[in-house]
Structure formats: structure tokens, C-alpha cells
């Protein structure tokens, strides 16, 4: 009962703060296009179908998000994860603007570039974390899941069966990462089967449910539902409905809570509601949305005195994935208050971005920028493009 009262209270706060009119909503598509132009200018490797990880490019700047050490020391390009972010960004721009140039860019740059990461030597074939010409690298289930979702987005926009086939192939890899340890679930990394993470199970549920929606093959529905319930059982915090990061094979839980984990479970809940029409899934989605509102947003007062709920500082791409869940929920319950908070935050960011190259800082929203760091991450730009493009079409 206390949790229900708290959720109702949080929802009321969002309704109050969401009453402010969002300025320049129609400009969001323009923001996305402008930022895409800047990103291509500063990150695309000249004469190649690859990208740099950061701008300015620095071979000495090693990434810290792998399962092991970053061993690439020269002629570095982006790892798979930020490259996939550009796929998502271009998909979102194509869907919002209808401009075929973005689809052409996917076909001429993104897809050939992804082939440079595709590992067919290990079975089942999938995308590895770095270029295959540099040798074998770890293969992450979550990296491949984001691509599977991108391929489904592209299939829905084009009707090209090859993209559906690509998503199916990725699913085959995901299923190879499932076993009965801990009662089910998908591992995080194929080469280091030490944990099962929300980031490899929640998007697996989303991918499976979307595959079912498109193919009507019941196996996908059953897998999506099973992974959804496995994640709830093993990784949801019953105190606030948010999700812990991972569980190791000895049952220890990393209790960190990230935006994208909640966002993918939010999206999975809505997809299950759409497929079953069982209200329990919609109610779960709305509870989780309220929990995200409390945990990942904050009261903010701008210089002109306007107050609104703003996104707290954190990984920008994680927030973009969270937005996907809120967008899915909005399609069903038409409650605009959370999306208005996204819009107000991103409008403020655009108006207060002083970077001469129109690039955005990592891990920053309305709070003070990280002025000591002069490099900008490719994935941050891709995430901002995706969010501006998605929000542009939501009225």
C-alpha cells in the first residue's frame, strides 16, 4: 500500500511539472539532422565505412566497458557498441523524416561497416566487439541484441526480408547463450560466462516479442515471456520496481540500477500487454514508469525561473534506451508527462550546448558539464540523435 501511494504521489508530481508547454518541439527533427551532420563530419573515418570512438581521436584513450582490457593500441576505430548506436540513430532519423538519404546511408555505410565486425568462424555467427581483421574479440549478447532490434526497425521501414533474416540470425546467437543455470536467462559475454545481466535479458525479451509480432511463431512469444519473468524474478528490486544490473553464477547480485535496464523491461511489459491484453502487464509498466520518474529524474529550475522534471546526469545512451520504453508506453496510455520531461531536458541541452562543433558531453544533461574532459564519445552523439528524432514525431 505504501508503494502504491508513493507511485501515485510521484505521478502527480510529474503531471504538475508536465503542464509546461514544450518549446520548439517541431525543431527536434532539425536538431537531429544537424547533429548527425556534425557526427559524420567528426567521427567517420575518411574513405572508409567505419567510425572513430571519440573526437578528437586519440589512440591512447582506452575504453573501459569491455569484459577485459582494451588491447587496441594503434589505428583505432570504434568498437561495435557505439557503431550500433549510429545504426539506431539513422533508423530513427529515417522514420521521423522519411528522407531516403538516411536509409541509403545505412545501406552504404552502416551495414558494410558492420560486416567488418561479423565473426563467421565461431558458430553461431554473430558480431564481435572489434574488427575481425584484428583477430578474435569477445562476443557480447547485449551488443548483438541492440543490432537485432535495429534490423527489425529497418525491416519494418523497408519490408526487406534480408533484414528480418539478420534479426533471426542474431536471435540464434542469443539462444545459444541461454542455459538452465540460475533457472534460465542469457549470459552477458560468450567468452566470460560469469553473469547474467538485465542488459542481456530485457532486450532479449523485447527482441523475441517483436519477432513474434512480425512472424507469429509461438516460440518467440514463449521465449520473450520466459525471459521477462526470469528477469523480474532474479533482478527486480521489489522495494521500488527498478532492476539490478546483474546476477553472478553464485547468486550474488550487483545492485546498481541503470536507466536502460528499466527502459527495456518497461518496453517488454507494454509489448506483452499489446499481445495479451492482460492488464497486469500495463499496470506493471506504469509502476515501473513511476519508479523511473522518481529515480532517474530530478526537479530543476532553469535560469529564467522555469521549473521542470529533468533527466539526472548519467550515461546518455542508457537514457536513450529508457526513452524507447516510455515511447512504447505512451502509445498505449497517452500520458505525455514523462515524454514532456524528456523534451524539456533535451531542449535545454540544445540551447545551452556551447561546443563549437555542436557535439555533446558524455554523461551530462542539465547539470554542469564535465569541462575537464575534452573528448566526446561517438555513442553519446548517436544517442542524442536518436532521442531528438524519436521525440520529434511524438506530439
Average pLDDT of 17-25? 45
Q: What is the pLDDT of residue 371?
A: 63
Q: What is the DSSP string of 112-141?
A: HHHHTTEE-SSSS-EE-SS-GGG-----BH
User: How many residues are listed for the chain in this entry?
Assistant: 395
Q: What is the pLDDT of residue 21?
A: 42
Give the integer Cα–Cα distance in Å for 323 and 311: 11
φ/ψ of residue 195, rounded to 5: -150, 155
Closest-CA residue to 173 (of 207, 151, 144, 197):
144
What is the per-residue pLDDT across 152-209, written as a single tens digit (0 to 9) for each?
999 999 999 999 999 999 999 999 999 999 999 999 999 999 999 999 999 999 999 9
Give the integer Cα–Cα distance in Å for 118 and 355: 35
pLDDT confidence bin for 17, thresholds 50/70/90: very low
Q: How far is CA 74 from CA 17, 42, 118, 119, 134, in A?
A: 49, 19, 21, 21, 11
Beta-strand relationship, 195-197 and 297-301: unpaired
Which domains can be identified in the chain, with CATH numbers?
Answer: 1-25+258-395 (1.50.10.20)
Average pLDDT of 225-241? 99
Say whether pLDDT at 217 is over 60: yes
Q: What is the DSSP string of 212-254?
A: HHHH--HHHHHHHHHHHHHHHHHHB-TTTS-B-SEEETTS-EE
Say whether pLDDT at 7 is over 80: no
Residue 377: strand, helix, or coil: strand
Q: What is the pLDDT of residue 184?
A: 99
Beta-strand relationship, 297-301 and 253-254: unpaired
Say whether pLDDT at 274 is over 60: yes
Give the integer Cα–Cα distance in Å for 67 and 198: 16
H or E element at residue 297: strand 297-301
pLDDT confidence bin for 75, thresholds 50/70/90: confident
Give the CA-trace dihedral at 254, 257, 263, 266, to 10 degrees: 80
User: What is the 8-class DSSP label of residue 25?
Assistant: G
Closest-CA residue to 382 (of 393, 371, 390, 372):
390
Whether the Cβ atoms of residue 86 and residue 154 lie closer than 8 Å to each other? no
Which cell numbers hold the place of 108?
A: 552504404
H or E element at residue 54: strand 54-55
Q: How far is CA 84 from CA 32, 150, 325, in A?
A: 17, 8, 19
Amino acid at each position: 500500500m505504501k508503494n502504491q501511494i508513493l507511485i501515485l504521489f510521484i505521478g502527480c508530481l510529474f503531471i504538475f511539472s508536465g503542464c509546461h508547454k514544450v518549446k520548439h518541439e517541431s525543431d527536434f527533427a532539425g536538431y537531429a539532422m544537424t547533429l548527425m551532420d556534425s557526427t559524420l563530419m567528426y567521427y567517420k573515418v575518411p574513405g572508409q565505412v567505419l567510425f572513430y570512438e571519440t573526437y578528437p581521436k586519440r589512440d591512447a584513450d582506452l575504453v573501459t566497458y569491455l569484459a577485459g582490457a582494451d588491447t587496441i593500441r594503434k589505428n583505432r576505430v570504434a568498437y561495435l557498441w557505439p557503431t550500433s548506436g549510429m545504426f539506431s540513430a539513422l533508423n530513427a532519423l529515417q522514420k521521423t523524416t522519411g528522407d531516403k538519404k538516411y536509409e541509403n546511408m545505412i545501406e552504404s555505410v552502416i551495414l558494410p561497416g558492420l560486416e567488418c565486425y561479423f565473426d563467421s568462424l565461431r558458430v553461431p555467427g554473430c558480431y564481435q566487439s572489434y574488427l575481425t581483421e584484428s583477430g578474435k574479440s569477445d562476443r557480447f549478447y547485449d551488443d548483438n541484441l541492440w543490432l537485432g532490434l535495429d534490423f527489425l526497425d529497418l525491416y519494418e521501414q523497408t519490408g526487406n526480408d534480408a533484414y528480418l533474416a539478420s534479426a533471426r540470425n542474431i536471435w540464434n546467437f542469443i539462444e545459444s547463450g541461454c542455459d538452465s543455470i540460475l533457472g534460465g536467462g542469457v549470459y552477458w559475454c560468450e567468452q566470460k560466462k560469469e553473469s547474467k545481466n538485465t542488459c542481456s535479458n530485457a532486450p532479449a525479451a523485447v527482441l523475441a516479442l517483436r519477432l513474434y509480432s512480425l512472424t507469429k511463431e509461438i516460440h518467440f512469444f514463449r521465449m520473450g515471456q520466459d525471459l521477462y519473468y526470469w528477469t523480474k524474478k532474479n533482478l527486480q528490486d521489489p522495494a521500488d520496481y527498478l532492476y539490478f544490473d546483474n546476477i553472478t553464477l553464485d547468486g550474488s547480485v550487483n545492485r546498481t540500477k541503470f536507466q536502460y535496464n528499466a527502459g527495456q523491461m518497461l518496453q517488454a511489459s507494454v509489448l506483452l500487454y499489446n499481445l495479451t491484453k492482460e492488464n497486469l502487464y500495463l499496470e506493471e509498466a506504469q509502476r515501473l514508469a513511476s519508479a523511473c520518474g522518481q529515480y532517474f529524474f530530478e526537479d530543476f529550475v532553469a535560469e529564467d525561473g522555469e521549473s521542470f522534471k529533468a533527466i539526472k546526469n548519467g550515461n546518455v545512451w542508457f537514457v536513450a534506451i529508457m526513452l524507447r520504453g516510455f515511447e512504447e508506453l505512451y502509445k498505449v496510455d497517452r500520458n505525455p508527462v514523462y515524454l514532456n520531461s524528456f523534451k524539456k531536458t533535451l531542449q535545454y541541452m540544445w540551447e545551452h550546448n556551447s561546443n563549437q562543433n555542436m557535439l555533446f558531453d558524455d554523461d551530462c544533461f542539465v547539470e554542469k558539464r564535465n569541462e575537464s574532459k575534452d573528448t566526446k564519445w561517438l555513442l553519446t552523439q548517436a544517442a542524442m540523435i536518436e532521442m531528438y528524432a524519436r521525440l520529434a514525431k511524438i506530439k
